[in-house]
Chains A and B, each alone.
Chain A
Amino acid sequence: MVDPENIPIIEVINLTHRFPDGTYGIQDVSICFRSGELVLITGRNGSGKTTLVRHLNGLLSPYSGKVLLKGAPVSANLKAARKTVGMVFQDADSQIVGETVWDDAVFGPENLKMDRQAIDERVRKVLTDVGLEARRHQSPHVLSGGEKRRLAIAGVLAMEPEVIVLDEPFSNLDYPGIRQVLRQLVRLRGQGRTLIVITHDVEKIAAHADRVVVLHKGHVVRDGKPGEVLPGIGQFGVREPCASLLGKEIPSWLS
């Protein structure tokens, strides 16, 4: 799926983020994401994972450094950046704005001022893809945790982003919920989307990742293939998968 000849879709160059209280979220981070990759960003709490990805679509502004999206600075066209880089937040509840599943999924396309008929067609397809079409008239608050997360993904997919960033997509989910979301991510990857997944629990998705990036105290300390990065990752506050500890290949949670 990954084409190494592709130019990076996102380039982060010497990015530093400073919070209003003077502390640094990330410092001098340089990293690039290529089209079609599934990149895992991991690190302990407070390592700067969320801060980093919120720069990718201009939700945060750099203190220094820059983020290029297809070669152009993100800040040059925020609307285009947010359409290209969709973001699924950690707390699905805070992301849901509609009173029904359908209303929530149409929120993004309506903001893009799309034609009503085009919105209806696109949202119907997206809800079918995530398995929520039958629940389109229901309130999002009655959905299970996994379904809410899938609705949050649907809300982003309805804007047809090229890159999807998912912040802790497995948090607070039970085993079936994790598998539902993981299946969805694998399907998206199969469609050629670029996926950037933030998680501190790498075992659940490591088998499907092309690359793992480890952040520690706001710096990138490791960046490479899972087999190269995961051994010894415990020193950065991230639990190393059991299979990796035993020197075996990490199995998929879908198998």
Chain B
Amino acid sequence: MAVLNPTAYRTGDSTLHRMDPRFKLVGLVLVSLTCLQGQPPGLLLLTVLTATGLATAAVPLGTLLRELRWMWLLLLLIVLSRALFTDGPESFSIPLLPVSLSLNGAIDGGLIAWRLVIIILCGILLTSTTRSTEISAAVAWSLGPVPLVNGRRMATMMGLILRFIPEILRQASLTGDALKARGIELRRNPVRRVAYTAIPVLRKVAGSGDNLAMAMEARCYSDNRTPPALQARGKDWLTILVLVVVCSAAVVI
């Protein structure tokens, strides 16, 4: 059996799983915009909200945080770069190193990282509780009123990208294991290690892409297909109303 990617869709019957994908999409946009405005008390409120969502959807938080380890490195770099390159009165120098760190910069970087974490986790919450076909349908619906944009085609492209993320991760994992079995870890040069991994992964993913395209073609794939049945229910409106109230509170406090 295959190893599951924690960011991929997980079957379930939670409130979030049953929610209309259009409302989930609106909710994600709402939380993301609020995050950009939010200060620590507001961000704390949104963090609690996100954690509640993850718990409700039974997303394995521990596994998720481990799988996102590269993201932590990126966030650390953001904090460090802000601390290094922000001028401010509250700077302090590091002994033996010709650099000084700004406390204000570090706080700014921390806030940016915090906002990014909330947005990423909310995005994962969306993808792990919503089938890609439903996300595509919601995107097609949201782009419907936009002139000169083919919503269905955009949604199709997005659906294919979403279909391929787990495939890329699966291929990377298989290639990584095969390389470890042949002693890749003995190689000191990280660039060569990345090259040895990336080239076969790209080759395999391209091959999988060809196979998938042919299999989809064999099943009469087109943009013009029966859309998923989207139905807004009272609970969806109530959930979005609660979300609006929480986001408003997060901006105000």
Name A residues whose Cβ lies closer than 8 Å to a Cβ of B.
Answer: 54, 57, 59, 79, 82-83, 86-87, 89, 91, 94-95, 97-100, 103, 107-116, 119, 137-139, 141-144, 155-156, 159
Q: Is B69 an interface residue (CB 8 A)?
A: no
Question: Nearest A residue to B208 by beta-carbon distance?
Answer: A94
Contacting pair B2 A111 (CB below 8 A):
no
**Complex interface: chain B residues within 8 A of A139 (CB):** 4, 8-11
Identify 16 residue pairs between A and B in the complex whose beta-carbon atoms are under 8 Å apart, listed by A's number.
A86-B218, A94-B212, A97-B212, A97-B216, A98-B131, A99-B8, A99-B131, A107-B219, A110-B225, A111-B221, A111-B222, A111-B225, A112-B226, A137-B11, A141-B4, A143-B1
Q: How far is the CB of A42 from chain B (nearest CB, A)?
A: 22
Q: Is B217 an interface residue (CB 8 A)?
A: yes
**Complex interface: chain A residues within 8 A of B211 (CB):** 89, 91, 94-95
Distance of A138 Cα from B2 Cα, bound (Å)? 13
Contacting pair B131 A111 (CB below 8 A):
no
Which residues in chain B, 182-216, are within 8 Å of chain A measured between CB atoms?
A: 208, 211-212, 214-216
Distance of A87 Cα from B221 Cα, bound (Å)? 13
Contacting pair B215 A111 (CB below 8 A):
no
**Complex interface: chain A residues within 8 A of B8 (CB):** 99, 139
Distance of A83 Cα from B217 Cα, bound (Å)? 11
**Complex interface: chain A residues within 8 A of B216 (CB):** 97, 107
Contacting pair A108 B132 (CB below 8 A):
no
**Complex interface: chain A residues within 8 A of B225 (CB):** 110-111, 113
**Complex interface: chain B residues within 8 A of A57 (CB):** 218
Which residues in chain B, 201-253, are within 8 Å of chain A measured between CB atoms?
A: 208, 211-212, 214-222, 224-226, 229
Distance of A113 Cα from B152 Cα, bound (Å)? 14
Distance of A144 Cα from B219 Cα, bound (Å)? 23
**Complex interface: chain A residues within 8 A of B222 (CB):** 111
Distance of A144 Cα from B2 Cα, bound (Å)? 9
Question: Nearest A residue to B217 by beta-carbon distance?
Answer: A59
Contacting pair B163 A138 (CB below 8 A):
no
Q: Is B104 an interface residue (CB 8 A)?
A: no
Name B residues whose Cβ lies closer than 8 Å to a Cβ of A.
Answer: 1-2, 4, 8-11, 131-133, 163, 208, 211-212, 214-222, 224-226, 229
CB within 8 Å for A142 and B215 given contacts A98-B133, A112-B220, A114-B226: no
- Of A98, A99, A119, most B-chain CB atoms within 10 Å: A99
Contacting pair B220 A59 (CB below 8 A):
no
**Complex interface: chain A residues within 8 A of B132 (CB):** 99
Question: Nearest B residue to A118 by beta-carbon distance?
Answer: B226
Contacting pair B9 A109 (CB below 8 A):
no
Contacting pair A116 B1 (CB below 8 A):
no
Contacting pair B2 A141 (CB below 8 A):
yes
Distance of A13 Cα from B250 Cα, bound (Å)? 71
Distance of A218 Cα from B92 Cα, bound (Å)? 76
Contacting pair A59 B214 (CB below 8 A):
yes
Distance of A108 Cα from B163 Cα, bound (Å)? 16
Set A83, A97, A109, A137: member contacting B215, Cβ < 8 A:
A97
Distance of A213 Cα from B157 Cα, bound (Å)? 41
Distance of A126 Cα from B221 Cα, bound (Å)? 20
**Complex interface: chain A residues within 8 A of B10 (CB):** 139
Question: Nearest A residue to B3 by beta-carbon distance?
Answer: A141
Q: How far is the CB of B172 from chain A (nearest CB, A)?
A: 15
- Of A103, A111, A112, A142, most B-chain CB atoms within 10 Å: A111
Set B9, B208, B218: member contacting A99, Cβ < 8 A:
B9
Contacting pair A95 B9 (CB below 8 A):
no
Distance of A136 Cα from B208 Cα, bound (Å)? 25
Known: A111-B225, A119-B226. 9 other contacts (CB 8 A): A82-B217, A82-B220, A86-B218, A89-B215, A94-B211, A107-B219, A107-B221, A108-B219, A115-B226
Q: How far is the CB of A212 from chain B (nearest CB, A)?
A: 24
Q: How far is the CB of A23 from chain B (nearest CB, A)?
A: 18
Distance of A86 Cα from B220 Cα, bound (Å)? 10
Distance of A79 Cα from B224 Cα, bound (Å)? 13
Q: How far is the CB of A100 from chain B (nearest CB, A)?
A: 6
Q: How far is the CB of A1 from chain B (nearest CB, A)?
A: 25
Set A79, A100, A138, A142: member contacting B131, Cβ < 8 A:
A100
Contacting pair B133 A144 (CB below 8 A):
no
Q: How far is the CB of B237 from chain A (nearest CB, A)?
A: 23
Question: Nearest B residue to A108 by beta-carbon distance?
Answer: B219
**Complex interface: chain B residues within 8 A of A79 (CB):** 220
Distance of A111 Cα from B152 Cα, bound (Å)? 13
Question: Nearest B residue to A80 by beta-carbon distance?
Answer: B220
